[in-house]
Structure 1
Amino acid sequence: MTEPVATLRVEETAIPGLLVVQLPVHADSRGWFKENWQREKMTALGLPDFGPVQNNISFNARRGATRGIHAEPWDKLVSVATGRVFGAWVDLRAGDSLGTVVHLEVGPGTAVFVPRGVGNSYQALEDATAYSYLVNEHWRPGTTYPAVALDDPALAIPWPVPLAEADVSEKDRHNPTLDAVEPMAGRRTLVLGGHGQLGQALAEAFPGSHVVGRDELDVTDPEALAAWPWGEYDVVINAAAWTGVDDAETPDGRAGAWAANAQAPAALARVATEHRLTLVHYSSDYVFDGTREVHTEDEPLSPLGVYGQTKAAGDVAVATTPRHYLLRTSWVVGAGGNFVRTMQSLAARGVSPSVVDDQIGRLTFTDELARATRHLLDVGAAYGTYHVSNAGDPLSWAGLARAVFALSGRSGDDVTPVSTEEYAAGKAMAPRPRHSVLDLTRIRATGFEPEDQLVALRRYCAESPG
């Protein structure tokens, strides 16, 4: 048995994410005892909270039994139960560390955390050696993954028992050398709702991500969600939503809004928990009744209409998964039809509109919202809820309309301010919050500085003159 240690330790290695855990082993005349997996202690020392779902045991009858170098698509924690093994690990992930080798002897006092995509092999150094490993994915028939030759000269692994004398399976004797291995690709980012205005901005902010629309994955379809290959991703960004505020008040719209804005996020939260994904979800100022002039992340939810109620339900559901970013936003402007485009068109056609002057807020341009999303993920900000909009002095819809008219060569005086009640007279309209200003203190504390809405508006109008 390896020399026992007094305290639990987690040590890094030359392979990123491959960690050696030194375990206290308590021995007496009867034998020994150790805590093989202790979540609270080990995660506090830096071991990932990897969520094991299966425990396997490998028994090796004779010294020299050698398992091939396989890089499984899951994480595992390996620990010896009896005997000793020589372990060898090869990074088979695409990237700068491809081909890096680590090897050491492992006894009962040592465990090794092996991240997804790192090839691992174990050679028994004693008869009747057994080691166990916890994994965080259920094994399924037909699963394929990279493997590399045990005797690859480029790896130069110093096997204690020469491979010519070792017990190696026929399959493992014919694995390819490193130069012929197709490295395991890293997990990707999945963007849902990719055809919408926010989805398009996210596609630009996350090059190389998998961007899908409802035609490819309908998040309201439980069977489609169950069949999706979630193991290929580590981040899911949900930009799919029902955005028709007024339509949500109709019988058909009510059902659609609840399905897209509440039930789908709840299902995605369950998926994220099961597969240890980071879930990014977008919400709205409509979860508040607008009686407060500025809304903080901790304000109690108080939606006025069906749309706001469904978004609030989605907020509650998303908060149940540990790794989540909930971004509440307001007055979104991006590609396609929106308030600014409408005002540009009216200005160009010589129309002088009446616009509501008693609803106050800030615009959020989709590229700014995508930039905030990227920032939170890149800096590893604390999970939770963040308010995101452009910065600057709050304005009414009429005030913004005047700004658009001025940028379009028309006088702002051509916009007539009216009250919400005047504008809504004779129309089937859902209730709106009067104050939609979101407090930006929390997102700023992460190092993100939102751009002034009028600066962004000027650029947007210049890029798309209507």
Structure 2
Amino acid sequence: MVEIIDFETQPTTIDGLTLIRMKQVREDRGTVREFFRASAFEAAGLAMPAFPQVNVTETRPGALRGMHGESMTKLIAIAHGTAWGAWVDARPESPTRGAVFQAALEPGVQILVPEGVCNGFQSTGDTPTQYVYCFTQEWAPGMTGTAITPLDPALGIDWPLPVDEADRSRISEKDLAAPTLAEVLAAHA
């Protein structure tokens, strides 16, 4: 038996942040997912430049990464496992500045993250989450961007699993020490 799930895009509460369901073909042996097909993205009005860098992180269950908004567009997806994703619009000129969007992530779901929108996630399954990042620029230390602490209560992010702030296997010192959304917005007012 073959089931085909068509490519589909959905806007979110953040201008330019798009939730994407990959085209998938499911059959008895498993699933084939179209991670990226330029013509499908272009037909949806999401023309993408080349990806000069692709990273895969493996994150332990319960661990939290983010919120990072570099000066590049990112296409993210889950290759294995599950995660809870959150995005914050930190762009000074955006009509949705300060907006937060949250979604459950699993294989077959992607998010197109515009430049300057902060991206973070928590691994939620019983096994490590493999999170794929496609970047429109190569990452470099000190590159322009914004970071917000993912534990800022003003964000209202419903992280599904508790985070022990003293446990570096759950959250990095850098992410914990990042400014709050209010501090970021005030700095770019």
TM superposition score normalised by structure 1 = 0.37
Instruction: Report deviation, 1:29.
Output: 4.0
The corresponding residue for 2:121 is: 122
Matched, 1:20 2:23: no
Equivalent-residue separation in structure 1 for 2:14 and 2:44 (angstroms):
18
The CA deviation at 1:34 is: 0.4
8 Å CA contact 1:17–1:114 kept in 2: the answer is: yes
Deviations 1:183-237 (A, max 9, x none): 898xxxxxxxxxxxxxxxxxxxxxxxxxxxxxxxxxxxxxxxxxxxxxxxxxxxx
**Alpha-carbon offset, residue 48 of structure 1:** 2.9
Amino acid at match of 2:37: Q
Q: What are the residue-to-residue correspondences of 1:79-118 with 2, within 5 Å?
A: 79-95=77-93, 96-118=95-117
Cα distance in 2 for partners of 1:147, 1:124 equals 19
Q: Distance in 1 between matches of 2:5 and 2:31?
A: 14
1:179 is the counterpart of 2:182: yes
Change over 3 Å in CA distance of 1:103–1:51 after alignment to 2? same
CA contact (8 A) 2:4 2:25 kept: no
If each structure's helix is expressed as a fraction of its own residues, which one has the higher value?
A: 1
Deviation string 1:232-262 (CA, Å, 9 cap, x unpaired) is xxxxxxxxxxxxxxxxxxxxxxxxxxxxxxx
After superposition, give the CA deviation of every residue in 1:116-161 in whole Å (9 maximum; x if it has no partner). Answer: 0000001111222102121111112322421111121211100011
CA distance in 1, matches of 2:31, 2:4: 13
CA distance in 2, matches of 1:121, 1:9: 23
Deviations 1:416-455 (A, max 9, x none): xxxxxxxxxxxxxxxxxxxxxxxxxxxxxxxxxxxxxxxx
Paired with 1:67 and 1:183, the residues of 2 have a C-alpha distance of 24
Counterparts in 2 of 1:131-142, with a 5 A limit? 131-142=131-142
1:46 counterpart SS class: coil
Give distance in 2, aligned partners of 1:89 and 1:167: 19
Aligned residue number for residue 158 of structure 1: 158
Structure-to-structure mapping, 1:238-253, within 5 angstroms:
none
Q: Give the Å deviation of 1:53.
A: 1.6
**Who is 2:65 aligned against?**
67
Quick one: distance in 1 between partners of 2:156 and 2:164? 15
CA contact (8 A) 2:83 2:123 kept: yes
**Is the CA contact (8 Å cut-off) linking 1:68 and 1:147 kept in structure 2?**
yes
Larger radius of gyration: 1
Q: 1:83 to 1:184 in 2, by over 3 A?
A: farther
Larger RCO: 1 or 2 (CA < 8 Å, sep 6+): 2
Alignment of 1:205-220 (within 5 A): none
Query: What value does the CA root-mean-square deviation take over the aligned residues?
Result: 2.1
CA distance in 1, matches of 2:177, 2:49: 32
Partners of 2:149 and 2:22 in 1: CA distance = 31
After superposition, give the CA deviation of every residue in 1:270-289 in whole Å (9 maximum; x if it has no partner). Answer: xxxxxxxxxxxxxxxxxxxx
Contact kept? 1:23, 1:36, Cα under 8 Å: yes
Residue by residue over 1:374-396, the C-alpha shift from the partner in whole angstroms, topping out at 9 and shown as x without a partner, is xxxxxxxxxxxxxxxxxxxxxxx
Mind listing any 5+ residue stretches in structure 1 that lack a counterpart? 186-466
Determine helix, strand or coil for the equivalent of 1:146. strand
What amino acid maps onto 1:177 in structure 2?
T
Residue identity matched to 1:14: T
**1:298-317 alignment runs, 5 A limit:** none
Bigger proportion of residues as strand: 2
1:82–1:108: 8 Å Cα contact kept in structure 2? yes
Q: Distance in 1 between matches of 2:124 and 2:68?
A: 19
Aligned mates of 1:75, 1:30 — CA distance in 2: 34
Change (3 A) 1:179 1:154: same
Q: What is the letter of the counterpart of residue 34 of structure 1?
A: R
User: Residue 72 of structure 2 aligns to which amino acid in structure 1?
Assistant: W
| Counterpart residue type for residue 167 of structure 1 | R
* Local SS of the residue matching 1:42: helix
Q: Deviations over 1:319-351 (max 9, x none)?
A: xxxxxxxxxxxxxxxxxxxxxxxxxxxxxxxxx
Do 2:38 and 2:47's aligned partners in 1 also have CA atoms closer than 8 Å?
no
Distance 1:172 1:131 in 2: 17
The alpha carbon displacement at 1:182 in A equals 5.4
- The alignment partner of 1:172 has SS state of helix
Match of 2:39, SS?
Answer: helix
Structure 2 residue aligned with 1:42: 41
- CA shift in 2, pair 1:184/1:113, >3 Å: farther
So what's the TM-score if we normalise by structure 2? 0.88
